Structure 1
Amino acid sequence: MIGSVQRALRLMEAVGAHREGAPAKQLAREAGLPLPTAYHLLRTLTHEGYLRRENGVFLFGAAAEKLTGGHVPAARPGVIADSLARWADHIGAPVYCALYRDGEIELVAVADNPATPAVREWASFRETGHAHALGQCLLVQLDERAREDHLDRYPVRPLTRYSVRDREAFLDRLRSMKRTEPVIERQEYALGTVCAAIPITVGPAVAAMAVSLPLEEEERLHAAIEQLRCEVTTFLRSFVFSISI
């Protein structure tokens, strides 16, 4: 891996998350870079035409627009829904996309079909993040304070006999997880269903995508989530995925 390329791409992702542009300090913070490093990379990207600076903020430049056929598209709800539908058909499983925004779990889109129906939302996804793979994947990406605040508002409670029993047990589970690895959930939200979710890195956004399968098809779960990861990676390489929905 070439570190400078990775850092430059993180900066580009951060720029893509701001329709009206953002200043260097904010971009450095969101990309997790020291300010001097960010300044150096921003100057280089601006010199090469991938970024431009206007009124103290950085925006995409002409070279970035050429990469996407003359414009930099933002991922609108229809684009996400179309992509999820295509992936659901290809993988043979329902596909879900969610964000953590303004302190809430927000289900953005779900794609399924009659042969592979999505999990029915019998208990609010927003309030039961501790019990489903999407919620767990989002919450593990938060810092300790944001996580505690969420659980203050939405206490941990078992939904099935397989659910985590209490707050401390759930926090212990989150601490044992690695942010970049898939989250697997077996019958914690809905009996007879297994789910897996992956984190999505989109600038500063906290996002995740997931697949679900009937319990009797659990052996397909790992292959399905790896398939989804490959599809999402290709999508992110093809578009500047600015979540402004």
Structure 2
Amino acid sequence: MTQPAQGVQTVTRALELLDRIADHGEPVTVSSLATESGLPLPTAHRLLKTLVALGYVRQLPSRRYSLGPRLIRLGEHAGRALGAAAHPFLTRLVDSTGETANLAMRESDMVVYVAQVPSRHAMRMFTEIGRRVLPHCTGVGKAMLSQLPDDEVKSLVQRTGMPALTDRTITDLGALLADLELIRARGWAEDNGEQEIGVRCLAVPVLGTGIAAALSVSGPEARITPEAGRRIGPALIEIAAEFAESVNTIEA
């Protein structure tokens, strides 16, 4: 009776090591992983050796470890599945706001767009599915960052940097943390031309699913005005909650 429990414990420990490697965002030593996970060094080494053999982890010439190529395939399949589930909810957002609706997920330190339903306006926003962007300058990125403790946000932006893409991009850590506090209180994030001049985006995190994801609506500043934002924000929160409930129902 103890073998299944041991098997489950082994899987849990292996997945924790994958999470630790992802959190680092750069190659990491086995000793660091063992210390952070609380595992004995031989156990961490044995699990990593198995993950390397399966392709989920790579061991570099420096003997440090990074995520392996086999995870890319899993991530792509997971993104497509979540994007398909989100499509009717994105369509509702387009119907209710008139603007392009997006679903994005966090992938290590970056944000990747996995689904989109375009606006019916002739002038509309378009983001390539699979495009990866930095989180500090996007509505979806800041929505997901708002769900992390400040210490994790600090560690993440130290790894990625906070480059200015426009003259409105937040490039100061203190200003970013203040914006995240506002997002937590208000319920939605705003990108006011911080990634692209003339484009405004409102986004909300998808809560309660265990998935780091966000829904957003984007369009030209001329249409997504502050007044429109006060209408769109609550709509995003409502539809994101319904999407999260549907995801949990599927998983159950």
Normalized against structure 2, the TM-score is what? 0.56
Would you say 1:159 and 2:165 are equivalent positions? yes
Tell me the equivalent position of 1:207: 213
Distance 2:186 2:222 in 1: 27
SS of residue in 1 equivalent to 2:207: strand
Unaligned runs of 5+ in 2: 1-11, 17-80
Contact 1:94–1:112 (Cα < 8 Å) also in 2: yes
Contact 1:80–1:109 (Cα < 8 Å) also in 2: yes
Would you say 1:89 and 2:89 are equivalent positions? no
Would you say 1:80 and 2:86 are equivalent positions? yes
Tell me the equivalent position of 1:99: 105
Tell me the equivalent position of 1:192: 198
SS of residue in 2 equivalent to 1:136: helix
Classify 1:189/1:215 alpha carbon distance in 2 versus 1 (closer, same or farther; 3 Å).
Answer: same
Contact 1:95–1:212 (Cα < 8 Å) also in 2: yes
Tell me the equivalent position of 1:225: 233
Distance 1:85 1:93 in 2: 10
* Larger fraction in helix: 2
Alignment of 1:23-42 (within 5 A): none
Distance 2:148 2:103 in 1: 17
Tell me the equivalent position of 1:182: 188
Alignment of 1:29-178 (within 5 A): 76-115=82-121, 117-120=124-127, 126-178=132-184
Tell me the equivalent position of 1:4: none
Distance 2:112 2:197 in 1: 22
Contact 2:139–2:216 (Cα < 8 Å) also in 1: yes
SS of residue in 1 equivalent to 2:102: strand
The Cα shift of 1:242 comes to: 5.7
Tell me the equivalent position of 2:70: none
The Cα shift of 1:126 comes to: 3.4
The Cα shift of 1:89 comes to: 2.9
* CA deviations over 1:135-154 (Å, ceiling 9, x no partner): 11111211234322321231
The Cα shift of 1:79 comes to: 2.3
Distance 2:181 2:244 in 1: 28
The Cα shift of 1:155 comes to: 0.6
Classify 1:163/1:213 alpha carbon distance in 2 versus 1 (closer, same or farther; 3 Å).
Answer: same
* CA deviations over 1:28-81 (Å, ceiling 9, x no partner): xxxxxxxxxxxxxxxxxxxxxxxxxxxxxxxxxxxxxxxxxxxxxxx6432223
Aligned letter for 1:134? V
Distance 1:100 1:198 in 2: 13
Contact 2:134–2:160 (Cα < 8 Å) also in 1: yes
Contact 2:209–2:247 (Cα < 8 Å) also in 1: no
The Cα shift of 1:241 comes to: 5.3
Classify 1:176/1:234 alpha carbon distance in 2 versus 1 (closer, same or farther; 3 Å).
Answer: closer
Classify 1:205/1:239 alpha carbon distance in 2 versus 1 (closer, same or farther; 3 Å).
Answer: closer
Classify 1:141/1:163 alpha carbon distance in 2 versus 1 (closer, same or farther; 3 Å).
Answer: same
Aligned letter for 1:220? A
Classify 1:234/1:166 alpha carbon distance in 2 versus 1 (closer, same or farther; 3 Å).
Answer: closer
Root mean square deviation of aligned Cα: 3.2
Identify the range of structure 1 (211-220 vs 228-237) with the bigger mean alpha-carbon deviation: 228-237
Normalized against structure 1, the TM-score is what? 0.58
